[in-house]
Structure 1
Amino acid sequence: MHDMARLDNLDRRVVHALQVNPRASWAQVGAVLGIDPVTAARRWGRLRDEGIAWMTAYATSVGDQGPMALVEIESAGQSLEIATRLVDDPECATIDITSGGRDLLLTVASRDRAALTGYLLQRIGTLDRIRAIRTHLVTRVITEGAGWRLNSLTDAEQSRLRESTDASARAHPRALTEDEHAVLAGLVTDGRAPTAKLAERTGLSPRRVRDLVRDLLRSERLTLRTELQAEASGWPIYAWFFLRVPASAANTISPRLGSLTEVRTVLQIAGPCNVIMAVWLKELTDVSKLEAAIESQLRDVEIVDRSVVLQAAKRTGVVLDPTGRRLRNIPIKP
């Protein structure tokens, strides 16, 4: 059965609600969507249990710089084998098997620059059956997939769901404490885990857990990410674009790229292609249409290369099956 048939309009509205506020109560979701809370919970439970939609958690970097890298691999025809060997590595957040000038594209992260370098050289660099490896260090994250939305809710409905953030905490970011790391570990596999369950796992009091989760989310030091199978989203074509932008214009153009509906990720890179972005599209022909739109609207942007993803083996710490459904979560470093 085609997976789009498994998401009706109400399914999509429930998923969008949890994209806006992943820990909204079912009473709040139901009130905004005009349905019974039990119905909202049941809809999400079915999608989650079938691996069509899921939620995960990861610490937001202190500041907007790495340590991250995009790694292109030419695999001598062994893409699936290499992806299988790397899929459980916590440093390897995303693994895409692609067409075009690379066979795999990895998103790699670690706790600091030295650890990232060690992983790139000692793990990736020593893999056999590889023709070539090209590494691009990320200098700035402009847009990430956690901000991508289904657009099934009105602006007013989203506003009713949206949690406030603490601007002062964002202005003075701080590393996670031991207790905060413990809470994060409990949220990795289930971002909607009840406070009581998190308290049991961490040994902290329910009130302490509730306060920690609230502070982490309001300070934006914790990202809770609601995702779904690309095919079921209605945007099944996943592609990467490699762009060259004048350095003087990169900080202006990159956010404009990130505002495009199709764009999920925009990264500034230290390299000849200084902006790399990931997009979800409805049709394969939309790849060339998006290129034409970018070239006509952003004259300074040169599209150097592009790759369509044939299979996503892992997305932001979540291992996927060949159809793009969730199998299991692997905590992301850092």
Structure 2
Amino acid sequence: MQDKVRLDELDRLLVNALQVSPRASWTQVASVLGVDAVTVARRWERLRESGTAWVTAYVGRPGWTGPLALVEIESAGNSLAVARRLVDDPECATIDITSGGRDLLLTVTAPDNTSLTDYLLHRLGSLEHARSVRTHIVTRVIAEGARWRLPDLTESQVARLTEPKAPAAATAAADLTDTERAILDCLVEDARIPATELAARTGLPVRRARDLLRAMLRSRRVTLRTELQSRASGWPIYAWFFLRVPSTATDKISPRLGSLPEIRTVLQVAGPSNVIMAVWLRELPDVSRLEAAIEGQLRDVEIIDRSVVLRTTKRIGVVLDDEGRRVRTVRMRMA
């Protein structure tokens, strides 16, 4: 059984630092935080071993052009049983058990449209205990959860940890090679794996493993993501909002939504709710307060539905326990 861990100020600063730079050296992190490297390494190991925080990886958008969908499921009275049936499916990136007009909300990935269709029709369409299934095909990812960060670091600390962005490739990024996929498999389990261990697991020379990893990250074909237990984050309330935005206003409004600190994910979808977003909030009344603020500031936005997440059993390929702590990883089917 995992021990319950309460985050203190240094823990939060450490997690925030790894959100900015997931593979920063302990020497660099320690220098920014004003402590010694042994302390931050020991702190991180405690957070990781307890499942309170982790760093994972997945195929980045330049290297993955496959489809993405949000799927609403109404269950026949046993939402947890449905979630458990789906938790090992690599297509199910995230599984949220929710209140409101749906019992579960799934984030589904696939390498291509045919694979997505097969999964939706054959796997979800015949799912035991599922009374109805509604699919929203994502047409544009406006903001993704990897960009969400704790607000604990100062601007100067963030700047010291931020690496210069490589220029976007002029042409489409190549698919991952078999060797790069082997590297990704190691990163999925622990994206802070040392280059020496990465080389040992993949059979590559250390320098070659390090160079390939660096190239994968610079090309953004692989995304690293530092996550933590929502209850320990200070933002324990997780909710989804379903918005209707005039098509002529989406380009103007969507980036403004994505810039709000509570917003983790903003997706443009094909459907009556053409923008769907996920938020983390400090307390339950903030759901109504955020809704009022959005509709007050963005006159073209109509919030037509909302759901509070009761439990997340899987988040971006990471299986969670009842307290929201990491248990294990299921690599997502994205390529």
> TM-score, normalised on structure 1?
0.97
Secondary structure of 2:248's aligned partner: helix
Partner residue of 2:230? Answer: 230
8 Å contact from structure 2 (residues 99, 310) kept in 1 = yes
SS in 2 for 1:169: coil
SS of match in other structure, 1:131: strand
2:61 counterpart SS class? coil
Cα deviation code 1:64-87 (max 9, x no counterpart): 864110000000111000100000
SS in structure 2 opposite 1:248? Answer: coil
C-alpha distance in 2 between matches for 1:209 and 1:151: 33
Contact (CA 8 Å) 1:241, 1:307: kept in 2 or not?
Answer: yes
Corresponding letter in the other structure for 1:169: A
Equivalent position of 2:247 in the other structure: 247
Contact 1:163-1:218 within 8 A present in 2 as well: no
| Corresponding residue of 2:30 | 30
1:55: how far off? 1.1
- For the 8 Å contact 1:242–1:304, the answer to whether it is kept is yes
Supply the AA of the counterpart residue of 1:242. F
Residue of structure 2 equivalent to 1:10: 10
> Which 4+ runs in 1 deviate beyond 4 A?
63-66
Deviation of the 1:10 alpha carbon: 0.3
Taking structure 2 as the reference length, the TM-score comes to: 0.96
Distance 1:170 1:105 in 2: 36
- Structure 1, unmatched stretches of 5+, are none
Cα distance in 1 for partners of 2:4, 2:246 equals 40
Inter-partner Cα distance in structure 2 for 1:169 and 1:30: 33
Cα deviation for residue 183 of structure 1 reads: 0.8
What corresponds to 2:208 in structure 1?
A: 208
Report the secondary structure of 2:77's partner residue.
coil
1:45 corresponds to which residue?
45
Give the Cα separation in 2 of the matches to 1:129 and 1:197. Answer: 43
How far apart are the structure 1 equivalents of 2:124 and 2:241? Answer: 23
Number of residues of Structure 1 aligned to a counterpart in Structure 2: 332
| Bigger mean CA offset, 174-183 vs 11-20 | 174-183
Change (3 A) 1:248 1:65: farther
2:197 aligns with: 197
Counterpart in the other structure of 1:77: 77
Q: CA deviation at 1:160?
A: 0.9
SS in 2 for 1:246: coil
Query: Are the equivalent residues in 1 in contact too, given 2:61–2:220 (CA < 8 A)?
Result: no
Comparing 62-71 with 33-42, which one deviates more in the overlay?
A: 62-71
Cα 1:171–1:150 change in 2 (3 A) is farther
8 Å Cα contact 2:54/2:326 also seen in 1: yes
Answer yes or no: is the 8 Å Cα contact 2:74–2:132 preserved in 1: yes
**Distance between the aligned counterparts of 1:158 and 1:186, measured in 2?**
27
Question: Do 2:62 and 2:220's aligned partners in 1 also have CA atoms closer than 8 Å?
Answer: no
- Cα deviation for residue 170 of structure 1 reads 6.9
Q: C-alpha separation between the residues in 2 aligned to 1:217 and 1:155?
A: 23
Per the alignment, residue 312 of structure 1 pairs with 312
1:160 and 1:97 map into 2 onto residues whose CA distance is: 38
Q: Does 1:302 align with 2:271?
A: no
CA 1:176 to 1:65, structure 2 compared with 1: closer, same or farther past 3 Å? closer
Q: 1:171, 1:298 → 2: CA distance?
A: 36
Is 2:66–2:111's contact at 8 Å kept on the other side of the alignment?
no
Do 1:64 and 1:141's aligned partners in 2 also have CA atoms closer than 8 Å? no
Equivalent position SS for 1:62 = helix
Q: Partner letter of residue 262 of structure 1?
A: E
The answer for the alignment partner of 1:145 in structure 2 is 145
In the alignment, which residue of structure 1 is the partner of 2:93?
93
- Aligned letter for 2:18? L
Query: 1:125: which partner in 2?
Result: 125
Tell me by how many angstroms 1:62 deviates: 3.0
Secondary structure of 2:158 counterpart = helix
> Following TM superposition, by how much is the alpha carbon of 1:61 offset from its aligned partner in structure 2, in angstroms?
2.4
5 Å matches for 1:243-282?
Answer: 243-282=243-282
Give the distance between the partners of 2:289 and 2:259, measured in 1 at CA: 17
Cα separation, 2, equivalents of 1:319 and 1:220: 24
Distance 1:5 1:23, change over 3 A: closer
**Counterpart residue number, 1:186:** 186
CA distance in 1, matches of 2:253, 2:298: 8
Contact 1:63 1:173 in 2 (8 A): yes
**Match of residue 116 from structure 1:** 116
Structure 2 residue aligned with 1:326: 326
| Residue segments in structure 2 that go unaligned for 5+ positions in a row | none
Residues 164 and 218 in structure 1, CA contact (< 8 A), matched pair in contact too: no
| Residue of structure 2 equivalent to 1:177 | 177
Contact 1:55 1:225 in 2 (8 A): yes
Following superposition, the deviation at residue 215 of structure 1 comes to: 1.3
Which whole-Å CA distance do the structure 1 matches of 2:171 and 2:315 have between them?
A: 29
- Equivalent AA in structure 1 for residue 282 of structure 2: K
* Percent identical: 65
